[in-house]
Amino acid sequence: IERDSLSDIPHQTPIMAFVSFLGTNANPKVVRASSTVSANGFLATASPSHSKSRMHVGKSKLLMQASAFGPNKKVNIAILGASGYTGAELVRLLANHPYANIVLMTAEKNAGQKFGSVFPQYLYGTFAKNLPTLVRIEEITSWDGVDIVFCCLPHATTQEIVMKLPLDKLKVIDLSADFRLSDVNNYAKWYGGEHKCPDLQKQAVYGLSELARDAVKNARLLANPGCYPTAAQLPLIPLLRDNIIQADDIIIDAKSGTTGAGRAAKVGTLFCEVSDGIHAYGVATHRHAPEIEQGLSQASKKDIIINFTPHLMPMNRGILETIYVKLEPGKTVEDMRACLEKQYANETFVHVLPPGVFPETRHVRGTNHVIINVAADRVPGRAIIISAIDNVNKGASGQALQNMNIMCGLPESLGLEQAAMFP
């Protein structure tokens, strides 16, 4: 894989989590959320973060009425490529999910071992002891009983696996880039090989959770967005859709922790190569550029080419993106703020910070949260957007779990309610 708790930042409480009781025997209230979807598939207005399904909210339980999953039927999960960083993060998050049941985990080099021998933090604890032994994918003889498959495999590997899966019986969430680009010719250009299952690509749903809920809800094959594209698209799409910023002058200066490069040993991510320095990489060639351009072009209804330069930082986790944009004539930074606040007013995981408070990666470390702010540039007619995410969480495994919750009709925040790991 290419690669919240702020006391002074107001937190928007989801409407569906707001419940009061008259007494111990009071009936739980039923709340219904709504959303509006524009023609291009993105949410046109802000919507509560648990989609349209009816929910029963009672004392300490939050259950989806329409979901087949709950206390009496857990979601049976397979994690393919569990020995990488995204696989390990999924396991960490699923440990806190009340309805998740990991039934299958694969790894090639570590097949036959317990997960705790690969990640020692899972050598102890009740949850860890119940994890299945790692196996090779080719050893799997049946997918019976599996509800969700998370693919945490290298690019170009997932296609060969997914085309053999019974998609009529289970759902797949792919954390690689194999199904993110809707144009298979564009995929071949950027990833150096033909797409092996173009028919499946037509079925794939791009799962930017907050902006594609209805599509995610019905997906059988979901392409989980990349880390840099998540941090870029969440602020930019609403602004382009509402014609507040210009489409032809977007500059993204992005910085990421080293987990974005994956767990395989590489000279460029050795301690001495990364520590005490910062460097740009993938200059004008990074594979996340076409993914960002795809989403922005759909929002603006015209082709967009961006300036995108990523940098490697001497830290484990986190992405900070500073985005420079040109305002449409007559538009102001206040219009930008109003647009983003309206879009994300009721979201659990996306937050527009107060004026003058700017995102820091430490404030989202280990969480599924996105923090955003905007500011006027000194150059007239220009503005600056800053966004921060945890690249392994919201940029990968956290958003994948959020999408699983949507696909299974469960509250989006299940398993994702951790506060940031700071200090």
Interatomic CA distance for residues 22 and 261, integer angstroms: 52
pTM, 2 dp:
0.84
Question: Are the CB atoms for 222 and 204 separated by under 8 Å?
Answer: yes
Q: What is the pLDDT at residue 273?
A: 87
Which parts of the chain have pLDDT scores under 50?
1-65
408 among known catalytic residues: no
Interatomic CA distance for residues 213 and 217, integer angstroms: 6
Identified catalytic residue from 151, 197, 227, 408: 227
Half-sphere exposure of 421 (CA within 13 A, CB side): 10
Query: 188: part of which helix (H) or strand (E)?
Result: helix 184-191
pLDDT tens per residue, range 135-159: 999 999 999 999 999 999 998 899 9
pLDDT tens per residue, range 178-191: 999 999 999 999 99
Question: Are the CB atoms for 383 and 336 separated by under 8 Å?
Answer: yes
Q: What is the pLDDT at residue 107?
A: 97
Q: What is the pLDDT at residue 266?
A: 79
**In sequence order, what DSSP letters do the residues of 89-141 get, joined into one string?**
HHHHHHTT-TTEEEEEEB-STTTTS-HHHHSGGGSSSHHHHTSPPPB-GGG--
Question: Are the CB atoms for 103 and 171 separated by under 8 Å?
Answer: no
Q: What is the pLDDT at residue 272?
A: 87
Residue 251: helix, strand or coil by DSSP?
strand
Write out the two tokens for 279: 């460097």
Helix spans in 252-306 (H): 271-274, 288-300
Residues in the chain: 423
